[in-house]
Structure 1
């Protein structure tokens, strides 16, 4: 496995916003200037923008994730153990938890600075530059099995939206079934992956990706209008999300989607707007979005008739 300790140390040094020459970095890390240049090239591949006019300096500031900071913030919300792994470089936060699912307890979570193989809904790639956004995953065990999962993705969306609204003061909205929007542009996505057999418990891994300070994303990956939340304390955000998600999931496990249904309409980004449903990437159905029903299905009005839609291969878009 490649040793990434020196590139990560360089990022930590540069996060103070100062300029460092190759010689200075080489002296601090006990390596050569050639070695520093190799590390810098790797750092750039991770999506970190640097200027080299008088040495190496970050073009955009980084608020790095620190376990101690997150744990201190979390103590303000709960006296329970934080149950969090902070991992700088990872393949996928969801996959990390899926790989150790039999060793986890409900609420176990991880966050990462950079995902090498981040994924979104329907197997799509999730653009994951280092330190620009937030990549968080959480495990939950539903003893009632698959029947208890209905509406879970919507609940997660509402919880995350409310946390972001509180911390940023911005009008964050939800989009059925799994996205958050700001100013009609995608701000965050949610991926719920389930491991279960009929009649058995459901092992659920919930992934949340939030755009915070993303710059010039790969347009082949990010192919729709997107927005950033902007400057925010990422460590505080992680702590607040952990607490809020755990509280909500505990409630969801006991009461189901019914306990959250009324919260959806006030923050529904497309309610009473012209929309189109893209089914299996080919079939397009247009109508007026009338919110959701108590089971979490999207309600689409066509010629005065309202039809519920629910399922994994449906995408909702504005009908421009």
Structure 2
């Protein structure tokens, strides 16, 4: 019922309790209980005597059927949740029961969205894209080198299809616009090193954030609404899923080597002086792209070094730590 109530209120107009009850087929008391639930989702609601109730901002809800109509490749299951702790955690709990399945989950809100290095991903209701996809690989964990970079490429390609042509890639798996973070990626793996394994691929894409929403973000950030107008969230979600499917299928057959040149062309830090922030030390050098395994190539005084992703952060030299 809560989703149906939100669908009515999504236009941002006033709706009386009587009208809402009639459309939902319930009593006004039942409507009131549902309206109270909106508070737990931190969805701003206004009420005016004689007019009724309205959302402070009109929203566009994600619609499973609309998204599925736009999916071009094989997708075995798609769920759209109103609220969850984390789309990645949700799929990790289900992964053992869906071996071999391509399973995607979207949420309107995450209570505890996660990014790399244990950071929080700000996830207000109905404003951005929070997407996770479960994918199985027969080659084991050892065959996944470069996958995180491929996912970033898939997001960048989706943005290009939507009309955003200036996105850049930041190693190991971020998407930037105007030197600000637009999308982040978190991969979580279970299974065997050389046998069957499953990967939960999590993506957070900023579409529209208020100043209040962004108060806890401690690095430069971008939002799609500043660069792209008139494209709805359902189209954005479907386009991202389509490019994920295509990119992962190519990766599964050809590995990262087939993506290396594409990454280099869009590498935000290529040939620039950078600092590599490790847990207990900082290393400096010139970023020289990536190798066929997706490792960072860093030119230092010792020569050209290959860096694996891990508990580290890459930034332009002397820039604030992100």
TM-based fold match above 0.5: yes
Q: Does 1:57 align with 2:54?
A: yes
Q: Which range moved further: 61-70 or 129-138?
A: 61-70
Q: How many angstroms apart in 1 are the aligned matches of 2:102 and 2:41?
A: 29
Deviation sequence 1:54-106 (CA, Å, 0-9, x none)? 654334331211111112222xx34x455211222222111111111122234
Q: How many angstroms apart in 1 are the aligned matches of 2:80 and 2:289?
A: 37
Q: Does 1:46 align with 2:41?
A: yes
Structure 1 residues 306 and 10: alpha-carbon distance in aligned structure 2, compared to 1, 3 A threshold: same
Structure 1 residues 41 and 144: alpha-carbon distance in aligned structure 2, compared to 1, 3 A threshold: same
Question: Counterpart of 2:91?
Answer: 97
Residue 212 of structure 1: how far off its partner (Å): 0.7
Residue 158 of structure 1: how far off its partner (Å): 0.5
Residue 129 of structure 1: how far off its partner (Å): 0.8
Q: Which range moved further: 168-177 or 39-48?
A: 39-48
2:6 aligned to which of 6, 11, 15 = 11
Structure 1 residues 211 and 266: alpha-carbon distance in aligned structure 2, compared to 1, 3 A threshold: same
Residue 126 of structure 1: how far off its partner (Å): 1.6
Question: Counterpart of 1:250?
Answer: 249
Structure 1 residues 91 and 291: alpha-carbon distance in aligned structure 2, compared to 1, 3 A threshold: same
TM-score w.r.t. length of structure 2:
0.87
Residue 47 of structure 1: how far off its partner (Å): 4.2
Structure 1 residues 225 and 43: alpha-carbon distance in aligned structure 2, compared to 1, 3 A threshold: farther
TM-score w.r.t. length of structure 1:
0.87
Q: Which range moved further: 214-223 or 162-171?
A: 214-223
Structure 2 unaligned residues grouped into runs of 5+ = none
Question: Counterpart of 2:77?
Answer: 83
Q: How many angstroms apart in 1 are the aligned matches of 2:30 and 2:97?
A: 42
Residue 10 of structure 1: how far off its partner (Å): 3.2
Question: Counterpart of 2:267?
Answer: 268
1:283 aligned to which of 281, 284, 292 = 281
Q: Does 1:237 align with 2:231?
A: no
- The alignment partner of 1:89 has SS state of coil
Question: Counterpart of 1:314?
Answer: 312
Structure 1 unaligned residues grouped into runs of 5+ = none
1:297 aligned to which of 295, 298, 301 = 295
Question: Counterpart of 2:161?
Answer: 166
Residue 46 of structure 1: how far off its partner (Å): 2.9
Question: Counterpart of 1:183?
Answer: 178
Q: 1:200-211 counterparts in 2 under 5 A? A: 200-211=195-206
Q: How many angstroms apart in 1 are the aligned matches of 2:249 and 2:95?
A: 19
Q: Which range moved further: 46-55 or 288-297?
A: 46-55
What RMSD over aligned residues (CA atoms) do the two structures have, in Å? 2.4
Q: How many angstroms apart in 2 are the aligned matches of 1:34 and 1:203?
A: 42
Question: Counterpart of 1:117?
Answer: 112
Q: Which range moved further: 43-52 or 288-297?
A: 43-52
Q: How many angstroms apart in 1 are the aligned matches of 2:216 and 2:177?
A: 19
Structure 1 residues 173 and 25: alpha-carbon distance in aligned structure 2, compared to 1, 3 A threshold: same
Deviation sequence 1:3-34 (CA, Å, 0-9, x none)? xx33x333221212212345654665534479
Q: Does 1:69 align with 2:63?
A: no
Q: Which range moved further: 86-95 or 158-167?
A: 86-95
